[in-house]
Structure 1
Amino acid sequence: MRKIVKFVISAAILCLSLQAFSQKTKEYTDAITHFEHGKTLYAKKLYVPAIQEFKTFLALKPGPNFEYETNAYLNLCRLKLEKQNAARDLAQIIRNHPGHALTSEMNFELGMFYFNDAKYSRAIKYLDTLNATDINKAQRDELAFKLGYCYFKTNEYEKAKKEFTKVMNGESEYAIEANYYYGYQCYILKDYACALATFNKIGDKGPKTMQLYIAQIYYEQEEYNKAFDVIKNVNLAKQQDEIELLTGKIQYQLGNRSVALIHFDKYNGDVSKLDPQEIFQFANANYEADRYEKSTAYFLLIANENSALGQASNYCLGVSDVKSNHKERAFNAFGEAKRKNFDKKITESAAFNYAKLAADLQQSSTAVNAIKDFLQEFPKSAYSNQAKSIMADIFLSTKNYKAAIEVLEDIDELTSETKLAYQELTFHRGEELFLNNEYQDAQLFFKKSLKYPKNPRTEALAYFWMAEIAFKVDDYDESLNLMNRFMSNGESSKSKNKTYGYYSMGYNYLKKKDYPKAQNYFEKYKQNETFSELNKATYLDNSQRLADCYFLNKQYTKAIAEYGFIIKNNYKNADYAIFQQGMLYGLQERHAEKINVLKRIQSDFTKSIYFDDALYQIGREYLSLGNNNTAESFFKLIISQHDYSPYLADSYLKLGLINYNQNKDDFALRYYKTVVERFPKTTSSQEALSFIEIIYTTQNKPEEYFKYAEQVGAGVRLSYQDSVFYNRAMQTYTSKNFKGAS
């Protein structure tokens, strides 16, 4: 009976176990169905429902083995749908599970994702990991082409060619493009034979731009007729500029310059970005058509090239400028052409024209030296006789002052004409030396010019320049004497230097500190000169010196007006004029105007040397008006921003005084102690110590003062200390504070 019971119980348990196992098997089978269905939907590119199936499967907790693969499929779907962070998550799965069966597919899809996003370096990272065995046959050609294209876009041409080769001879949809880009790489690398062979292999199946490259290749191979036969049939709206450029270049090389110019004129690109040879073609086509303005603009783009093109460009620039009467520019251009010296014939002609233009431009010394160099380098030149004739004209017209003077001084007796020539030559030599700051030698030649005073105007100007030299060497009395001789000469009134003479004499008297006379001459300059852009600097400097004289002569209203004129015209020293004007308002006790004027320096001239002066004066003005808080802010500005200002110590003193007057003794002490410690052994330090003593004494702490004075090396005599202590005790006693007095 017990056995029967045991059997029945065992059978029941077995049935229950089988039932539980059957239920789990069914749940597992159902879960797998979601997974497999998700894969089927993924294969059919139905990514949205596939994602739902994979998520359902994961929700059933299939275990770690399935979780990885399901997450991989799930993120592949998200990648296809371009969901945010899908690429990042997929890359993470690859890193965490290398070597899994899905790794190749994930690398492939990530590579394609970045390829489509034009992120070619990233695409390479994933596509380059794949072998042909890792992917299906349909994907192999796509992989080879797109990996090759990525290498192409990242300028790794050899790797790109290797990949394109895998596809070029096949029949896949990528074969034509692979051939095209293979050929295009050859074109870029200037392997024109390879490029032509590849392009011709594609024939009409290639893109229309390919014909443009074929024409360009023929051009580079100097097969200009073949190039033209190709380019004339190319019709690409987006590449029209390239077509016009190449057509123009071809016609230029075929000798059809006028036809080339038609195409160059239709080119709308930036000519300055073309290579020098192309720019030269633009320039020369215009030059040969006598369009000098355009040709000049183009030649200038390559004139600095240190090459035969650069030399030819400068030579053509010189010829163009001569024809358009721009001699100075032509002179410089020929100078560059002869210096580059790549083509001897161009160098010879350029050297001659350079010397000829130097003479035309009255650069006598340069012209003579250039002719000497020319005759030495090209003694048998066809230009030799003409060059010698030019040099003779230079000496006859006395354009080479130094050489001509030496010749005239070697003559025993000068004629009236040669005396006049000597006067002019020595005067001009003096001017040359003056402009070179060689004042002693210049003075010598000006004096020589007075030896034969044939031309009254030249005589007057000699005195003028001698006066200027005397001023520059600080001989103000001599300068005044010579300038008076200039001014008294009847010819001075015809010279533009007459009014300048007033200005010069004003400066001489200013240097001699004779301010009334200086003022008189600065006024005369102003009365006789009209303010204009040409004389702006001198006129405004005269106004500034006149204002200074008014100031020094205590004519404050006039000084304010004159400084105002300088400020109005924004002279370079406007900050000085503003500061002076502010000080004048202060002298007239026009406090608000002084403050407002000086604040312009604070707002408009932050780098002015008068910046801290203005801050200090504004602070002082506010202090005198009893506006302590505002005054304090300006003194603090000096302290915080101008650590090397000469007003630093006084600013601390002023801050100490302000705080002392406001019963802020601790702040006052801090400022006064700063003065003592930062500026020892100065009058400011002594003043600060006096206030420190007053404060401590007032606070009934004289011992604190004695201690501090000792600390900073300003000890106090014992007798004085006794006197201070006695006075304090008496004050305490009289106030009946006996304990404190003991």
Structure 2
Amino acid sequence: MIIRYFQIFAILVVLSLCGQRVSAQVPHDQPTAEQKLMKGIELFEKELYGSAIQLFDEIVLYHKRVGFNDISADAEFYAAISALQLDNQDAEYRIVNFIKRNPESPRIQRACFFMGQYKYDEQEWESAVYWFGRVERYRLERQERSEYYFKQGYAWLMLEEEEKANKLFYELLDFPESDYYGPGVYYYSHIEYTRGNYETALKGFKALKEDPTFSPIVPYYMAHIYFLQQKYDKVISYVPTIINEVTPKRKAEMQRMLGNAWFKQANYDSARVYLEKYKESTDNFKRYDLYQLAYSYYQTGAYEKAANNFSLITSKQDSLSQNANYHMAASYLKQGDKKNAHLAFGSASRMSFNDKIKEDALFNYAKLTYELSFAPFDETIRIFHSYLDQYDNSDRSDMIYNYLVDVYMTSKNYRRALESIDKIKQKNRQVTNALQKVAFYRGIELYNNLKYADAIAMFDKSLGAGGNDAQLISLARYWKAECLFREKKYDQAIQHYKQYLTTPGAYSTSYYNLTNYNVAYSFFKQAEYNAASIWFRKYIDNADSAITRILYDATVRLGDSYFVQRKYNQALLAYKDATKIPVEENDYAIFQQGFTAGVLHNYKQKIDVLIPLTTRESSLLADDALFETGQAYIQLNKPAQGIAQFEKLIREYPRSNYMKKSHLQAGLMYFNMGDNEKAADHFKYLIEHHKGSDEYGEALVALKNIYLDQNKVDEYFSYAKKLNINISSNEQDSLLYLSAEKAYLNGEAEHSRELFNEYLTRFADGQFTLKAHFYLAQSLFNDENLDKAIPHYKYVIKQPLNSFTETALYNLATIYRDKSNASKAWEYYSRLEPIASNKRMLMESRVGQMRAAIKLEDYKKVEKAASQILITEKLPEEIAREARFNKARALEKLGRNTEALVQYRLVAQNLQTPQGAESKYAVARLEYEAGKTALAENEIQNFIKNGTPHQYWLGKSFLLLARIYQESGKAFQAKAYLQSIIDNYAIKDDGIIKEAEERLAEITTSEDVKFETGKDADLELEFDRNSKVDTTQLK
């Protein structure tokens, strides 16, 4: 552009030089300044700028000497412009210097204009607008002016001064012949487009429809403008005519516009066609586009696709998410999927952007919660109350109240249900009936968790509710009596059992006859044996023969009651009846039958009954039976047979409590038979191994008599001396011990301890040393002086097995358990197990071992002890549950997950207990860890359906279910379950809510990223300020 202008300008300069009078003489053989200037311009026109600059600089230098300023200014001007053309480093300096030195030159305007062009080409926008700003545009030619408007406008645009730029681009509308007209109109129209002046922009873009540079993009702008003007008919008619001519990227956007336009026209079939094409051809879709596609699916009956697409746009808290959740719920309902509909309605109800949607969603959420029995955190009651609080004037209020009463009647979270019912001020008959039922079941729940006092309060609440369910009234009285029995308040228990029996509706319950048994046991526990026998007989006479375990126990206890009253014949018949009842173990009944026969002096019958029991090696009463048959043979004057029984017991049951007595009885029998040597062997065993026992003293006397009969007194003294037996002090030994024992038995604890200590000081190795240590330990133990009791118990257990070993071991184990010394506790519990004399003590030893091993984190020992507990007969339900649960945990710790699952499943059958709830979660967790996510999900859904009062494990299960859904691509379901925890979980500080919030944020963030990867396409075109139209070819 600069060259063309200078061609014109050079002609003018030459013409002016021809008429100029030369004021200085030059040699005739040298060219004049004018000739040099003409030559320089000639070189300039030929674009030989370097040579031209050389001539122009010579002119400037010469004229500085002689003072020809006009020619010098022209040469200086041409030299600066030549430098610009060569992009020399001194070009800008030359221009600036020219302007400074020639302030009056008419060429300054043109110098500024050329400088502006130069800075424009260099993209130095601030400098460009500076130099253009110094130009008086109306002194420019028309073509120069169009260039001036465009380039200055473009520079301002690059400086983000759209207002200034647009005014200059607007001027170009009057230059249709200019090469800058097209770019200028384009930028002007684009700016108007971005400002929302669509009609003005449209007019400009239409003017460019035939422009070869801009015609490819003009239809795209026009389509967008029609869309933004909401002229959907024009979009629908115009876009199809151009859609196949645009680029693939533009085609996707055209499809999007068509889909949107059809959607706005409520033509959902056409909308889904184009929106589907758009979704298939790009990853840069917006949430609202997905909403339109999902809604089009919904309106055209494609409910599964609708739900899937709605679920993708619910990550944000906005009106779009609320609407999407609501219609997703409707889509699920159309498919009959109430579970997912319930979750979606819940999500919609938590947002308040559209109150109409919120109300309807909240109602449907509550209704589906009720219908699905989905209330793990008691959502149903809370949601119904929330609805009533927010929409108390709703037409649905009556319906809600009816639902609410039904919920109270069926709620499994009885504690929360009670809290809710208590808030109702005016309780009608439906509510009082609900209160009666809910309080009753809350009482049962507390009873199962061994909280008997709290359970009693609930049964009283049920009884005082004013409900009209007679059977519930009777049952509340029954279970209140059960609680009192468990608390050992037997008189009160009897009173309430009897009230239950006389309550209308009691007879039709399954507990009616069982109550006779319970009353009998209450009397039995208080040693009121006559009353007990009457009530046991009532139970037996009305018992269902199928309930063999209780019938057996009642019959045995009837026998016991008769026996204690010395009604031996009746006792014998009762025990005999008990042996006929088909139970797994009837050892006790057999033994008592034989023993009672002996009391009645029917020794042959006693032997006949007991002999079979002596061969039952697994029976805890086999050693008892052996001893009693031995005693019976003695009574029948059959000492040899009696001795055989005693010696069999000694051989086969060396740890039996009857072992010492068997030695004594065998020794006495041998002595009576004249076999003094064998008699002495038995007596010496007792003297040497069981000093301090009752049998020790008798053995010592019997041995002395043997030596006296044989006239071997010296040998007796010699034997006694060898064993450090002080024969002369025995009487003093006995008197001091007996006085201490008498004080102990009379309850004079402190005095007895003084006497026992005195005895042990004086007779450290006396014949009653063992007893003194034991009774002193017992006295200290009973007064909770445990540290002082320990050494005395330890003395007892160091002695050979004796009648005190069992109690001493048990009490030592108890002391160390309470001291949290698990290692010592386990040691003594484990030593107790092999010598346990009855099933209760056997169970105590095994349970103690298990609990101590848990604290020691020795899972092999835990598993072993728990397994032993589970094979113990007549195991209380709560102990069996604890053992099975601990066995499961131990197996899991040992890496035997398959076996652990078996145990966990058994414990999880009762979700009302804490172990059952934790086990249910453990089953799901182990299935998940094994990759069996479908099984894990089923376990959790079953857990949710059945409910539990133990929220923590249900909360953990919800978190696990959310993880399963998240990992399987079901983000909506995952978020819904996490939100359910946040909204409904009652415990605020156990970490469940915090984890749910963190996980929900994590999922939401990951969903947001999906819409942020790459450019988020918009209906509006973005203007790239760093781009510019190529104007290098514009003339």
TM-score by length of 2: 0.36
Higher RCO (CA < 8 A, seq sep 6+): 2
Normalised TM-score (structure 1) = 0.48
